[in-house]
Amino acid sequence: MIKFIIGPKGTGKTRKVIELANQALEDSKGEIVFVNGSNRRMIDLNHRIRYVNTKEFGIEKMNEFYGFLSGMIARNYDTDQIYIDNLLEVGRGDSDELKQFLFDIKKLSDKFNIRFIITLNGNPDSAPAFLQEYIA
């Protein structure tokens, strides 16, 4: 399953995704990973959630980020849920690269039964058509 939380900057998307990750600990049977491009909200996450700052790994593009996520899953097949805060801050790309990234993580989600919750800055009403079915 893949869900996008889309909204303008400053509307509480990060706070919401942190709350969702913390709540997921109650039902999760595997590892929960929270991915961000900084350390700014790390303290708000429960210590049992694995926190990854992508800036430490030099990720700059969507295809690099996809490879990074694949490696995390390969490292731990018990990964159950991955929360990605501000996708375009983590891996930069245009609409075509975002579409390819979505296609690729959909395969990961289906194959390994991983839930992806992703925040994205923008207006949900003007999101590309390929994202519409995934908007929460």
Give the chain's domains with CATH numbers: 2-134 (3.40.50.300)
Q: What is the pLDDT of residue 122?
A: 86
Q: How many Å from the N-terminal Cα to the C-terminal Cα in the chain? A: 11
Q: What is the pLDDT of residue 29?
A: 85
Q: What is the pLDDT of residue 50?
A: 93
Q: What is the pLDDT of residue 104?
A: 95
Q: Which residues of the chain have a pLDDT value below 70?
A: 93
CA–CA distance, 63 with 66 (Å, rounded to integer) = 5
Q: What is the pLDDT of residue 31?
A: 93
pLDDT digits (tens, 9 = 90+) for 12-33: 899 999 999 999 988 888 999 9
Q: What is the pLDDT of residue 125?
A: 87
Work out whether the CA dihedral 74, 106, 97, 90 comes out positive or negative.
negative
Q: What is the pLDDT of residue 106?
A: 96
Which residues fall within 8 angstroms of residue 102, CB to CB, at 6 or more apart? 2, 130, 131, 134
Contact status, residue 40 vs residue 89, Cβ threshold 8 Å: no
Work out whether the CA dihedral 134, 91, 74, 102 comes out positive or negative.
positive
Contact status, residue 97 vs residue 34, Cβ threshold 8 Å: no
Q: Is 30 left (phi over 0), alpha (psi -120 to 50) or beta?
A: beta
Q: What is the pLDDT of residue 80?
A: 94
Q: What is the number of other CB atoms lying within 10 angstroms of the CB of residue 51?
A: 18
Q: What is the pLDDT of residue 37?
A: 83
**Dihedral Cα 122, 15, 32, 45, nearest 10 deg:** 150
pLDDT digits (tens, 9 = 90+) for 103-119: 999 999 999 999 999 99
